[in-house]
């Protein structure tokens, strides 16, 4: 099995569940509110790679090779898609440090993952080739990059929220996550959100983690940090007992670090991830129609298996219902 070179090993399902799947990676944008529904994590495994992804690159490439190509008349009739086809490449806003969703191989430069695959399959549907130009985004720059047309779309564990929908359109959702708990791999005291009472718990200051903990773990001693790396380090160094944030982020953290794991089951409200698009353009209808095509032809499930499914050893979940 061909895997990214940054990967040093594999996680077992037990390990994942111990990790609690659903999140994307250290580099993933904190879903600051909180992406298809993930199976619940299980077990308490401690295995995992040290620094990278467990993506099955051979399977990933096979998904791209089988990706559908739209009829030329369909693309010509849509101004957003026609501009991309004329350019020959799709411009995506995203990241390249998220182990399972969008990770760049430092040697080949190739970016792979669930988010990257969504963008590359859409590029193939429009242009005939899975080619994308990736522009790095942060939580603060996503809407701006769409509003000034610096990118065609954002695929970056981008949570759909009413406030953001005032500024951009969201196709999808294409993925749904929840919140989860990360602890040291040697910690057997925290096995559920109820066990956070009286414990020192980290979360990201700019995320919805604080409100989430106030609701589900009101007796926890919440400590906020600027970003995912600082929260992760606080757990690894024993400065806090646990770290609560979107499950996808914690999954990637656990996939890259042997000394942490996910504890208990995912909790909290669902967090739908959408494809950010230019507000009011004809992109929304085109991309939603394509999402239905890739779900129907099995591409969505195959992409999930090649990426997230390499950690969660279950059958692919049903993709989330598309809004329109």
Q: State the DSSP string of 76-93.
A: HT-HHHHHHHHHTSEEEE
pLDDT of 313: 67
In degrees, to the nearest 5, what angle opens at C-alpha 232 toward C-alphas 107 and 42? 90
Identify the burial level of 205 via C-beta atoms within 10 angstroms of its C-beta, where 0-12 means exposed, 13-18 middle and 19 or more buried. Answer: middle
- Residue pair 175/114 in contact (Cβ under 8 Å)? The answer is yes
- What kind and span of H or E run contains 132? strand 132-136
CB neighbour list of residue 199: distance below 8 Å, 6 or more residues apart: 190, 220, 221, 240, 241, 242
Q: How many CB atoms lie within 10 A of CB 297?
A: 13
- Most distant CA atoms of the chain, gap in Å: 61
CB neighbour list of residue 235: distance below 8 Å, 6 or more residues apart: 182, 183, 184, 202, 241, 242, 243, 260
CA distance 276 to 171: 7
Q: How far is CA 30 from the centre of its chain?
A: 9
- 252-276 burial, b at 16+ Cβ within 10 Å, e below that, comes to bbbbbbbebbbbbbbbbeebbbbbb
pLDDT tens for 188-227 read 999 999 999 999 999 998 777 899 999 999 999 999 998 8
pLDDT of 61: 97
Write the DSSP symbol of residue 317. Answer: P
Tell me if residue 200 falls in helix, strand or coil.
strand
Identify the burial level of 109 via C-beta atoms within 10 angstroms of its C-beta, where 0-12 means exposed, 13-18 middle and 19 or more buried. Answer: exposed
Per-residue pLDDT of the chain (324 residues; tens, 9 = 90+): 334 333 333 333 333 333 333 333 333 454 433 334 444 443 333 233 324 557 899 999 999 999 999 999 999 999 999 999 999 999 999 999 888 899 999 989 999 999 999 999 999 999 999 999 999 998 889 999 999 999 999 999 998 999 999 999 999 999 998 899 999 999 999 999 999 999 999 999 877 789 999 999 999 999 999 888 999 999 999 999 999 998 888 888 887 888 999 898 889 988 899 999 999 999 999 999 999 999 999 999 999 999 988 776 678 989 999 976
pLDDT tens for 157-168 read 998 999 999 999
- 41-50 burial, b at 16+ Cβ within 10 Å, e below that, comes to bbbbbbbbbe
CA distance 105 to 280: 35
| Torsion region of 189: left, alpha or beta (phi above 0 gives left; psi -120 to 50 gives alpha) | alpha
Place of tokens 């129609």: 289
pLDDT of 324: 65
pLDDT of 144: 94
Q: Is the peptide bond before 173 cis (omega within 30 degrees of 0)?
A: yes
CA distance 60 to 171: 23
pLDDT of 254: 80
Q: What is the CA radius of gyration of the chain?
A: 19
Adjacent-strand bridge partners of 56: 3
């Amino acid at each position: 099995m061909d895997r990214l070179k940054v990967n040093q090993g594999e996680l077992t399902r037990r390990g994942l569940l111990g990790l609690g799947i659903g999140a994307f990676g250290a580099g993933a944008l904190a879903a600051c509110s909180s992406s298809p529904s993930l199976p619940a994590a299980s077990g308490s495994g401690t295995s995992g790679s040290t620094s990278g992804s467990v993506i099955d690159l051979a399977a990933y490439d096979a998904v791209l090779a089988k990706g559908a190509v739209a009829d030329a008349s369909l693309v010509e009739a849509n101004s957003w898609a026609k501009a991309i086809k004329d350019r020959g490449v799709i411009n995506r806003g995203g990241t390249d440090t998220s182990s399972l969703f969008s990770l760049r191989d430092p040697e080949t430069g190739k970016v792979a993952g669930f988010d990257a695959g969504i963008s590359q399959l859409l590029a193939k549907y429009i242009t005939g080739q899975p080619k994308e130009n990736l522009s790095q985004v942060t939580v603060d720059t996503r809407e701006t990059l769409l509003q000034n047309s610096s990118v065609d779309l954002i695929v970056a564990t981008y949570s759909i929220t009413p406030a953001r929908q005032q500024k951009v359109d969201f196709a999808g959702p294409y993925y749904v996550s929840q919140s989860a708990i990360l602890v040291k791999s040697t910690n057997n005291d925290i096995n559920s959100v109820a066990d956070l009472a009286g414990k020192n718990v980290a979360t990201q200051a700019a995320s919805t983690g604080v409100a989430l903990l106030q609701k589900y773990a009101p007796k926890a001693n919440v400590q906020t940090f600027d970003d995912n790396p600082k929260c992760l380090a606080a757990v690894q160094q024993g400065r806090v007992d646990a770290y609560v944030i979107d499950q996808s982020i914690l999954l990637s953290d656990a996939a890259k670090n042997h000394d942490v794991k996910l504890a208990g089951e995912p909790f909290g409200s669902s967090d739908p991830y959408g494809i950010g698009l230019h507000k009011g353009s004809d992109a929304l209808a085109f991309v939603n129609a394509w999402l239905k095509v890739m779900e129907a032809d099995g591409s969505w499930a195959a992409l999930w298996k090649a990426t997230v499914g390499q950690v969660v050893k279950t059958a692919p979940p049903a993709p989330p219902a598309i809004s329109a």
